[in-house]
Structure 1
Amino acid sequence: MSEPARVEDRREEWNGPVPVPTGATVPFWAATLEGILRYQACDCGNRQLYPRAVCTGCGAEDPPFEASEGVGTIYTYTVCHVPGEPGFADRTPYVVGVIELAEGPRLLALIDADPERLEIGASVEVTFWQVSDEAAVPVFVPA
């Protein structure tokens, strides 16, 4: 990633779920506070996100992290009209999508955009909403 992405402080207004960094996820969440999206890139060639203690391709322990460019495309998405979490009631309708990063891994994330203007295959880039002192949630916006 050439430049860190924007990190917006949303701690005062956020009432959704808050990630708790533990184990293999600690380096991932620490990087989010710096505006960096990290994924694991195992020596076997497998790339995975969200972080796990073992590679889902070969079973190697503690696959190393690499920084993503923070860009990708919308693989699929849905518009939520009924909140999946109590803290999302005031956000409806909101968009949740599977983002395919340029490096290959896919992740489920919020897409901060007008649902009427989205389409599968559209380019997106990561931003972060800081929701606690320990984590910022990756949120994607149209590129």
Structure 2
Amino acid sequence: MTGPDSAPVEDRRDSWEGPIPVPTGANTEFWAATLEGELVYQQCEECGTAQLYPRAVCTGCGVVGPPFETSSGVGTVYSYTVCHVPGEPGFGDRTPYVVAAVDLEEGPRLLALVDCEPADVEIGSAVAVTFWQVSDEAALPVFVPH
């Protein structure tokens, strides 16, 4: 069940043909949160470094097990590319599609799909997260214009 501030989670388990994440180790909590419509990142209590993708140690100071915080899910397109040739199985019918480096309000940057027409995105565009559930264990964070 999703909370009042969570993003939509669209069930695409029957139609998704792309890669499926396998939660393991330090990323297990991240993928569990996606199923609840929450985008989480790690925030080190020792040095303040915010990081995403999840890691066993802080990239700033090396402390083990930095805790997770919930992101607002809002960010800005730092850079993007329009893919005209599918880079993965399951993307052939999506071309052209947008992949962007998104700077979250909280600081971390992540690479993600942007679900929009290529002409509708540019560097500096505001985006918000939504999720596509692709398995019983994970939902992909996908951004949309905001």
TM over 0.5: yes
Deviation at 1:87, TM superposition (A): 1.3
In 2: Cα distance, 1:2 partner to 1:75 partner: 28
Contact 2:53 2:110 in 1 (8 A): yes
Q: Tell me the matched-pair count.
A: 143
Q: Which amino acid aligns with 2:9?
A: V
Q: Unaligned regions of 5+ residues in structure 2, if any?
A: none
Match of 2:23 in 1: 21
Q: Which amino acid aligns with 1:17?
A: P
Match of 1:106 among 101, 105, 109: 109
Q: Which amino acid aligns with 1:86?
A: P
Deviation at 1:2, TM superposition (A): 6.2
Match of 1:97 among 95, 100, 117: 100
Give RMSD over aligned pairs.
1.0
Match of 1:40 among 39, 42, 61: 42
Deviation at 1:98, TM superposition (A): 0.3
Name the SS for the 2:131 alignment partner: strand
Q: Unaligned regions of 5+ residues in structure 1, if any?
A: none
Match of 1:52 in 2: 55
Match of 1:127 in 2: 130
Deviation at 1:126, TM superposition (A): 0.1
Name the SS for the 1:39 alignment partner: strand
Match of 1:7 in 2: 9
Deviation at 1:132, TM superposition (A): 0.1
Q: Which amino acid aligns with 1:23?
A: G
Deviation at 1:117, TM superposition (A): 1.6
Q: Which amino acid aligns with 1:28?
A: F
> What TM-score does the superposition give when structure 1 sets the normalisation length?
0.98
In percent, how many aligned pairs have the same letter? 71
Q: Which amino acid aligns with 1:82?
A: V
Runs of 4+, deviation exceeding 6 Å: none
